[in-house]
A and B are shown apart, each in its own frame.
Chain A
Amino acid sequence: MFAIQSPKTSRARRGFLLAELLIGLVIIAMVMFGAAAILDAVALGWNDQDVTRSTQVQANQTYIRVQNALQGAKYVGYASASSSQSGSIFFWQNDNLGGVEAGDPYIGEMALIQYDPATTTLWLYTVPSSQLSNAAVQAAWTLTEINSSANASWFAAQSFVEKQALGGPGNLTNDGTRLQVSSFQVYVSSLGSDTQLPLIEYSIGFARSDGTKLTLYNSTTIRGPATQPE
């Protein structure tokens, strides 16, 4: 009982030659290196894309909040020097204290946007509706008073004023994924002009712990009252 082997068997059963094996290994190694480099580049790209998108989304949220706070303003009071990286702007937010359109800026109608480098946060200070019956907020201010930096600082320090983060970690733990506000510059032009609407120009600088930086530049027009407060 023997199987008759074909004469080809001896050739067919031999393995690769060492040279063939080495060439094969080199080719596979080259392909693997190429694939690894490509996958690495793709992974970096995805990561970069994710960081960029996250940064952009958080920056846009801040920009929309600032825009919403400013564009409804009735008038602008104190604004820090435009060269200041830690800018602030004190403004008459609305004219409806107690449901009455009195035409004068009451303390309860004021708001302040201020950058705090210590918390890397841009804060909005306002009087919440729960405090509008407080006697302290029912005093009217003059134009001179809302133009005072001391009054802006006083306003921010009052217990009836609530502050909320427009951008940055705020009161939350800074876990490194949040976008930090690194600067806020603000400039008000043509305020009090009879022919042009007041324009608030501002830029917000952002920074992430991974070094990602972003600057948002924008402006908003104030459609305030025909007569400025006295």
Chain B
Amino acid sequence: MRREPPIQTIDCSSRRSGFTLLEGLIASVVLAVLALGVVGSVSTSYQQSQSVRASSTAVTLGRQLVDEIVSKPYTPTDTLGAGGTRSTFTGVSAYNAYTDNSNAMPLLEGGTLDVTGEDNYVRQAAVVVGAKPSIDTASPATDFAIVTVDVTCQDGQIVSIPELVANYAMPRQ
């Protein structure tokens, strides 16, 4: 006796249909979000790299000013921040409250120079008298001062470089 084959039902509606427009749109949105995530992390990496470069430049500028300041004698009786131009400063105290910016850096020889191009760095010096180390019990506190140079980068970060100066004859070897 011949058996009839089972009747097949093809549900084309579920197997053969493509994506709907809505599904396509959702996929596009998901793709866009993923792409934005990747670009965001690349952008962060770029910004960090720029930040490192800025702080490196700031350290160089800060160290230059600190080195210049400590090449001058420190005399406790000098007036702090007497004003005037940098090229005429003859002592550490004169640098208190001194400020300049790298786009128009005042040179010791006179005149100015743009030393950082499109980025601008602001340097500010402070001299705080009375920073005597605790191991020195003999000297008066005013024989010591802390010189701090703060360099503010374009992105707002501040690099601070402190240096201790003392009232003693400048060693010339």
Interface residues of A (CB under 8 A from B): 1, 3-6, 8-9, 11-13, 15-16, 20, 23-24, 27-28, 31, 34-35, 38, 41-42, 45-46, 49, 52-53, 56, 60, 63, 82, 185, 187, 189-190, 195-197, 199, 201, 203, 213-221, 223-226
15 A-B residue contacts at CB 8 Å?
A: A24-B24, A28-B28, A34-B32, A45-B43, A49-B50, A195-B72, A201-B108, A214-B117, A216-B60, A217-B61, A219-B67, A221-B71, A224-B173, A225-B173, A226-B173
Contact B53 A52 (CB under 8 A): yes
Question: A196 contacts which of B43, B90, B117 (Cβ < 8 Å)?
Answer: B90
Contact A8 B13 (CB under 8 A): yes
* Main SS at interface, chain A: mixed
With contacts A27-B25, A56-B56, A187-B109 taken as known, whether A12 is within 8 angstroms of B7 at the C-beta atoms is: no
CB B113 to nearest CB in A, in angstroms, measures 6
For the complex, count residues of B whose C-beta is within 8 A of A: 52
Docked Cα-Cα span, A187 to B109, in Å, equals 7
Contact B108 A219 (CB under 8 A): yes
CB B25 to nearest CB in A, in angstroms, measures 7
CB A74 to nearest CB in B, in angstroms, measures 9
Chain A residues closer than 8 Å to B163, beta-carbon distance: none
With contacts A216-B115, A217-B64, A224-B172 taken as known, whether A199 is within 8 angstroms of B71 at the C-beta atoms is: yes
Contact A219 B8 (CB under 8 A): no
Docked Cα-Cα span, A145 to B118, in Å, equals 43
Question: A218 contacts which of B5, B32, B53, B64 (Cβ < 8 Å)?
Answer: B64
CB B33 to nearest CB in A, in angstroms, measures 11
With contacts A34-B32, A195-B73 taken as known, whether A189 is within 8 angstroms of B114 at the C-beta atoms is: no
Closest to B17 in A: A12
With contacts A49-B49, A197-B172 taken as known, whether A221 is within 8 angstroms of B115 at the C-beta atoms is: no
CB A61 to nearest CB in B, in angstroms, measures 13
Contact B28 A215 (CB under 8 A): no
With contacts A31-B31, A196-B73, A199-B71 taken as known, whether A215 is within 8 angstroms of B113 at the C-beta atoms is: yes
Contact B49 A225 (CB under 8 A): no
CB A78 to nearest CB in B, in angstroms, measures 16
CB A212 to nearest CB in B, in angstroms, measures 10
Chain B residues closer than 8 Å to A3, beta-carbon distance: 7-10
Contact A4 B71 (CB under 8 A): no
